[in-house]
Amino acid sequence: MTAPVFVVGQLPGGPEFVLDGPEGRHAVSVKRLAPGEEVVLTDGHGRWTRGLVRAAEGKDRLVVEVGPVQEDPAPEPRVTVVQALPKGDRGEVAVETMTETGVDVIVPWQAARCITQWKGDRGLKSLAKWRTTAREAGKQSRRTRFPEVTGAMTTKQIAALLAGADFAGVLHEDREAPSAALATAELPARGSIVLVVGPEGGVSPQELAAFAEAGAPAYRLGPSVLRTSTAGTAAAALLMGRTGRWG
């Protein structure tokens, strides 16, 4: 089993580090780590160090002997998924599984047909939940570079994002609409890939037109229709395999 990952604000510069606070409590009281076990400390931005537990003190204090700090390069190509706001807690499910799959950037999108609305304090709380979910899923999946969860964007902002990508597409479920298979699309080896996942009610014709004008045509994943909370993860897994990131 790989070593558990813990997030620190600043990576240690010396040979010994004390992990305390919520992360220390999780290590000592939840994971019940003992002397001699390995851990990984990361800042969540690609920098990390491997450590060996020397002592567990109280309920929230872990003394760790650490090695040199290393840095993982940003993966190529960079994969961004624009996720329309789903109902209920399906947004957190989407963020969790996309993080586990390896998505680099997750963009919440207030699509025209979204039932959920991010407004005022509710929007801020929902965004905070998505970011917390990405952090926890990043730790669970042993990532050292966690995905960025941006603020919610409008359709106009999404179109601009698509226009600047090296590859852009919209996952579209309409059997009657002309669309190519994502499995056979020509993908860049480097640069940026941006995919749009629509809401439960689908992407509106006006949004499809705006995205197509920005250089993002419609693509299909397969013969079946996926939920908005799982489509991004399925597409990301396909991209990871085809671009060699899962090589």
The pLDDT value given to residue 13: 79
Q: Give the CA angle between residues 47, 51, 57 to the nearest 5°.
A: 120
The pLDDT value given to residue 158: 98
- Quickly tell me which residue has 């680099």 as its tokens: 104
Per-residue pLDDT tens, the chain, 247 aa: give them. Answer: 689 999 998 898 779 999 999 999 999 999 999 999 999 999 999 999 999 999 999 999 999 999 999 999 999 999 999 999 999 899 999 999 999 999 999 999 999 999 989 999 999 999 999 999 999 999 999 999 999 999 999 999 999 999 999 999 999 876 555 678 999 999 999 999 999 999 988 999 999 999 999 999 999 998 888 899 999 999 999 999 999 999 8
pTM (global) more than 0.75? yes
Q: What are phi and psi of 91, to 5 degrees?
A: -65, -45
- Where do the domains of the chain lie, and which CATH numbers do they carry? 5-71 (2.40.240.20), 78-243 (3.40.1280.10)
Contacts of 47 (CB under 8 A, 6+ apart): 11, 69, 70, 71, 72, 144
24 to 30, 144, 148, 230: CA distances (angstroms)? 9, 18, 24, 33
DSSP bridge pairs for 80: 105, 194
21 to 11, 84, 103, 134, 145: CA distances (angstroms)? 15, 35, 28, 20, 21
- Listed residue (24, 54, 51) closest to 38, CA to CA: 51
